[in-house]
A and B are shown apart, each in its own frame.
Chain A
């Protein structure tokens, strides 16, 4: 409104037109913000007001008209009609005045009219745009609110989605950490160097590569892309030597900033040329001849320096990260799933921290290893300790190793490996418990039998047991065959006695090592191995088992799973018993050999001890399964009873 009024008054009373500036201002194509226009016009109005007053005082003729027009303009929008009126009245009023002046006024009036129209349109346009924008914004707000609401409903209804989301986020974080670590590892491992290449013709160029990862041939192929020389006629000369295609580049000790000459040689002469290299050069830096394995040169020093870097330190100081890193390894994860104990270890932050410290400090690592060895050695001297060791081996070492190997445990290959492993295991057993090892199938002159020795013999036998059944053509009868033989014995009291003496250390060691059952189940024997079908064997085995089971110590303390009981014995696919029957069957084959020859050494021992009745001795030995100790006990008992 002010706009209209001001413009009008301008046209009416100020021919020289300060207002033209305003018009210029508003006729500009650019839509100006409404407030700016108003401000500008107000400014102008104020300045014009003074002029108007001067003018109206000086010309009384104009006064009435100005008065007449000032009123209806307020609050009115009908510009055109009013302007028509203005024009007409102005003409009427100014009849006496200069025609030119009137004409000028009319012109200016028209100009102002269009200007006002423009302003109006522009402001309208702007307002409209603003409204549109506001509407749009409102719409967006509404959509946002709707989405938020939806999200709330979803998270409220399905909280697991939220946890899933968080887990995914965590995983992403872990992944990032891993990537960082891998990046650092790769970076520190991959030693890119910048080497200048100087062709005999043309400009030299730089090429960045890892001399430990490229053979000369590979390098040539890469260089062939950047030169005009094909790889097969390219010769590389460095430090007075022609580089041989099959060598790793780092064999020649190329370093950062060094220059390798690129020479075009005669085609297909590469092999001949290679012979040109002095023989002395081939031996050089052979220790450096890195393989393509990226971790081959990942030595301890590098590891240490990496571990000492603050970033890695920070990363690894967070056990959660380390744990998730370990869990990222599928074999490790599998192992942990199978062996919850290991999972506990990995979940233990202090253990992880210790491990990290160890990785950082090789001395500490060595110290820990030594402590470990010591602890193991001490453990072995404790009665029954050996079984703990064995258990440890089975529950920790073996799964760890097999996880590392990433093999299917149930395959025959795995069994063979296990056998191999156990064979490897046995020498240390023999070394540690040197003297008292009762070996039923070796000549024996020693009557002392220490507890640990007995345990070793019994349990040292058991794991190998399953393997012997199908692996070894000559299954040395271990404790199982001894027991089997003892059941064959005719004299009932002595047999029970004997089996009791056999069982006592057996049972105690079993109770000492609750994990022994695990030992059995750890031995994964293919289930399809044919079980002995001979009913005689089955009967005998059943006897043996019954004896085992009815032994109060055994049954009460051992808490065997149901399948171990004789009733379900032969229906159960338990590998232990399958093996047992196997090795029993096998042991039977060995008895085809006359006992005199089989037990020659034992017989000799007995004779040396004064048991002169050979038939009796053989019977005792047969009953004892070749165990001199048991045989002696039996013989003594027989003597006493006689």
Chain B
């Protein structure tokens, strides 16, 4: 399979994010529209219904280094959240604790990460976890 160059992949993801081609539960885009390296991204996850996260919007920042998509991006939660895969001190999503990051494939996208995180929130094990007050930040 042909290796997609970093910028091509990120541009494609950017377009998808701006046009909202996903399922509408996650949103992502460049944090600085003039960033030609497309390294810093913002993401939001809309809390899944029927969980403690309902009616909450979680903000994240994602950093794609020059090895993306060969290596996974670094993902941080900005909104404080109580999830097993999230470092409770830094908000960093631990690679080892999230399957798609642990078994990263170059065909994976930023959206995949956000969706996986959302699934984690809705996971029966996690969905009743006590959460910090809305609006608090890491």
Contact = CB atoms under 8 A, between A and B. Distances in A.
B119 interface: no
A640 interface: no
Contacts of B134: 266, 269, 272-273
Contacts of A260: 20
Contacts of A278: 31, 42, 59, 61, 78
* A: interface residue count bin: 20 to 34
A200 B46 contact: yes
B44 interface: yes
A240 interface: yes
Interface string A525-569: 000000000000000000000000000000000000000000000
Interface stretch (B1-9, B22-30, B93-101): B22-30
Given A237-B57, A241-B59, A285-B33, A198 B44 contact: no
A255 B18 CA distance: 8
B105 interface: no
A591 B40 CA distance: 74
A257 B135 CA distance: 30
A319 interface: no
Given A237-B27, A239-B29, A258-B18, A269 B44 contact: no
Nearest to A257: B19
A253 interface: yes
B20 A276 contact: no
Nearest to B135: A272
A268 to B, nearest CB: 11
Contacts of A255: 18
A215 to B, nearest CB: 19
B64 interface: no
Contact of A276 (B32, B41, B59): B59
A482 interface: no
A241 B30 CA distance: 9
A240 B29 contact: yes
A239 to B, nearest CB: 2
B135 A237 contact: no
Interface in B9-55: 17-21, 24-25, 27-34, 40-44, 46, 55
B79 interface: yes
Contacts of A237: 27, 44, 46, 57
A275 interface: yes
Interface residues of B, number: 33
B117 interface: no
B138 to A, nearest CB: 11
A239 B17 contact: yes
Contacts of A239: 17-18, 27-30, 42
B19 to A, nearest CB: 5
B42 A198 contact: no
B44 A241 contact: yes
A278 B44 CA distance: 11
A627 B39 CA distance: 73
Interface in B96-111: none
B42 A265 contact: no
Given A240-B43, A241-B44, A273-B135, A200 B24 contact: yes
B60 interface: yes
A405 B137 CA distance: 50
B56 interface: yes
Interface string A229-261: 000000101111110000000000101011111
Interface of A: 196, 198, 200, 235, 237-242, 253, 255, 257-261, 263-266, 269, 272-273, 275-278, 280-281, 284-285
The 3 closest A-B pairs by CB, nearest first: A239-B29, A259-B20, A240-B42
18 contacts: A196-B19, A198-B20, A200-B24, A235-B57, A239-B27, A239-B29, A240-B29, A240-B41, A241-B27, A241-B29, A261-B27, A273-B57, A276-B79, A276-B137, A278-B42, A278-B61, A280-B31, A280-B32
